[in-house]
Structure 1
Amino acid sequence: MKTEDITLFHRIVETGSLVEAADILNLPKSTLSRRLQLLEDELNVKLFHRQSRAMTLTASGSHFYDKTTPMLAQLEQTMSELSGQNAEVAGHLRILIFPIPELIHITHAIFEFMDLNPGLTVEIIVSTEPQDMIRNNIDLAFMLEDAFNENEMVARHMITEMVHFFASPEYLAKTDIPLTQECLSEHNSILFRYPNGKIFNDVPFGKDRTLAVKGNLCVNSLETCLEATLMGRGISMMPLAFAQEHVDSGKLKMLFEEIEPYEGKCYLVYPSRRFISLASQRFIDFMMKAMEECIEKGDCNRDVIVRGVFKSMN
């Protein structure tokens, strides 16, 4: 019995469809169907009830899935222990990245990891939309702290961003509302919707205070938020790294500089109820070691970015 066939069986279970599993795995449907049939023949059990548009597990299939999930995880761990930390890994990784300011630099780090492991193939998915990581066969994701369910994910803190309030000189010139802490809720704010559907409209203000804000525009993209702020559509909250060049050029003004900024955290996450592949383990180790070295060298005093390893933005 091939462990690869068991892994393919898991992907079909998690997508609920032979067609979807074939698309995600970039395999012909006929190949996946044949491999599944071989697995069923070898086990001498029927694993799925086959329907026109979906596949549901039989009792035997459900039992096999539950039993083989920890077995695959243990196998990956054993392979990792036997091969040693410097051994090359192969396989395929699907990595989801929320479009944060460090997007390109995280991508560069992924490229360096690929260079160290030329047998590995990688798919990078950039999205602000909710993604079911298991159903979509996503191995790892870089996500903001409020964008995922902590009960379903294992999360490793990677990056901290200083988040400030910003507005354009044009917006400030045309508003009649005083720019004070007490009047912030009366201003037109550019609202932000996280991938989990939550709207960021109760915003942190200083260390121990939150303020309710409102506005006539809601976005789910930092690029759109920045553009709307530059065009005078209202006040926004954004990572300083994302807006710095426009502050320097005078196109944006940082507001309430005397208030301690909100620390937005980005995490490297993966599903807690799915076995983690050897490639995923090595990638996590690579990224965490890079962060640790960055901190030890004192290069992470400001907004942290990645350069294959990490360095400061200075």
Structure 2
Amino acid sequence: MDLNAIWMFLKVAQTGSFTRAAKELGIPKSTVSKKIADLESSLQSTLLLRTTRSLQLTDAGKRYYDTCAKAFEDIKDAEAFTQAASSEPAGNIRVTATAEFARKVLSEIMQGFLTAYPNISVDLILTNQALDFVRDNIDVAVRAGQLKDSNLKARRVGATRFQLLASPSYLKAAPELNKPSDLSKHNCLVFTSLPNPSVWLLRSGSQSAKVKVQGRYMANSINAIKSMAASGAGIALLPTVFCKEEIARKELGIVLPNWASGEQALNLVYQNSPFIAPRVTAFLNYMQEELRVLLK
């Protein structure tokens, strides 16, 4: 049994490409191709269907992938269990978060973590997508909202509160805004990553308002929407944790401060495993403490 060949097969299946797999492994593409060909020969079964444009797992390949991926996860758990005997956390941690959260929040505390744990390195993957913990080899993810995958665990570190924001110049020239229904008269900047971007559900105590908004600009980036709002282009519904600097500089102000779009829990998410590597535990504990302070 060639474990290297199996590991290469898993990487090709995960990336969907011999080229990308070879790049991630840091070896020539020809080596990956030969190893997988030898693996298929030893198994007397075709694992991958190759064309000039695509790469697909055969039924046998899918079954082999599932079994081998689970086996490597068991090995990873065994490694974590063994490392738990060590008093000094060490090794690499793969963390995923959105680029905007990393720039505005994580960057403030990441250096402190690296200083506190000199034997740990961090590989930060920035994306708006929820990556697969097994396929993408993720240790910790920073995610908002409820946890849906029972194979994962979460530590709540705070919450993001969405409020209406606009620049003084926009409000000076725009129609009056005294209640949520007045938003229909305004140019609203739509953040398309929200579940229902064009319908803003606002609450104030026991009261609630559901407003269908319209505007000439929409984007899936908080920074893009925030920049347009600060330039006077309209009203935005954004998490205030990402807008503290602009609010402090009075480039943006909170509109209808008693109304907000509820809160989304912010969690540190990790695999539901009986053995957590000391480096991961150290990261979770440090970030939980620091983020709770920052997100107050």
Q: Same fold (TM over 0.5)?
A: yes
Tell me how far 1:168 sits from its aligned partner.
Answer: 0.8
Listed as ranges, the matches of 1:57-136 within 5 Å are 57-84=57-84, 86=87, 88-90=89-91, 93=94, 95-100=96-101, 101-105=104-108, 107-108=110-111, 111=114, 115-117=118-120, 122-128=122-128, 130=129, 133=132
CA distance in 2, matches of 1:221, 1:106: 23
CA distance in 2, matches of 1:258, 1:66: 51
Tell me how far 1:271 sits from its aligned partner.
Answer: 8.6
CA shift digits 1:115-135 (9 cap, x unpaired): 333xx5x5433344x476479
SS in 2 for 1:211: strand
Partner of 1:201: 198
Matched, 1:8 2:4: no
Tell me how far 1:83 sits from its aligned partner.
Answer: 2.3
- Sort the Cα spacing of 1:47 and 1:144 in 2 relative to 1 into closer, same or farther, 3 A: same
TM-score w.r.t. length of structure 2: 0.77
Tell me how far 1:231 sits from its aligned partner.
Answer: 0.9
Equivalent residue in structure 1 for 2:292, among 300, 303, 306: 300
Contact 2:164 2:235 in 1 (8 A): yes
CA shift digits 1:286-307 (9 cap, x unpaired): 333225545xxxx936625xxx
Listed as ranges, the matches of 1:1-314 within 5 Å are 1-84=1-84, 86=87, 88-90=89-91, 93=94, 95-100=96-101, 101-105=104-108, 107-108=110-111, 111=114, 115-117=118-120, 122-128=122-128, 130=129, 133=132, 137=136, 139=138, 140-145=140-145, 150=148, 154=152, 156=154, 157-194=156-193, 198=195, 200-206=197-203, 209-212=208-211, 213-259=213-259, 262-269=262-269, 282=278, 284-293=280-289, 300=292, 303=295
Which residue identity is paired with 2:34?
R
Tell me how far 1:198 sits from its aligned partner.
Answer: 4.6
CA distance in 2, matches of 1:135, 1:54: 22
- Sort the Cα spacing of 1:112 and 1:225 in 2 relative to 1 into closer, same or farther, 3 A: farther
Tell me how far 1:235 sits from its aligned partner.
Answer: 0.9
Tell me how far 1:233 sits from its aligned partner.
Answer: 0.8
Q: CA RMSD in A?
A: 3.6
- Sort the Cα spacing of 1:221 and 1:255 in 2 relative to 1 into closer, same or farther, 3 A: same
Contact 1:18 1:54 in 2 (8 A): no
- Sort the Cα spacing of 1:48 and 1:245 in 2 relative to 1 into closer, same or farther, 3 A: closer
Higher mean Cα deviation, 201-210 or 11-20?
Answer: 201-210
User: How many residues end up aligned between the 2 structures?
Assistant: 287
Which residue identity is paired with 2:186?
H
Contact 1:94 1:138 in 2 (8 A): no
Tell me how far 1:86 sits from its aligned partner.
Answer: 3.8
Structure 1 unpaired stretches of 5+: 305-314
TM-score w.r.t. length of structure 1: 0.74
Structure 2 unpaired stretches of 5+: none
Contact 2:163 2:259 in 1 (8 A): no
Contact 2:159 2:265 in 1 (8 A): yes
CA shift digits 1:87-136 (9 cap, x unpaired): 5554673634341231423643674587333xx5x5433344x4764798
Which residue identity is paired with 2:22?
A
- Sort the Cα spacing of 1:292 and 1:172 in 2 relative to 1 into closer, same or farther, 3 A: closer
SS in 1 for 2:189: strand
CA distance in 1, matches of 2:27, 2:117: 22
Which residue identity is paired with 1:8?
M
Tell me how far 1:29 sits from its aligned partner.
Answer: 1.1
Tell me how far 1:200 sits from its aligned partner.
Answer: 2.5
- Sort the Cα spacing of 1:249 and 1:82 in 2 relative to 1 into closer, same or farther, 3 A: closer
- Sort the Cα spacing of 1:257 and 1:217 in 2 relative to 1 into closer, same or farther, 3 A: same
- Sort the Cα spacing of 1:291 and 1:200 in 2 relative to 1 into closer, same or farther, 3 A: same
Which residue identity is paired with 2:286?
A
Contact 1:11 1:137 in 2 (8 A): no
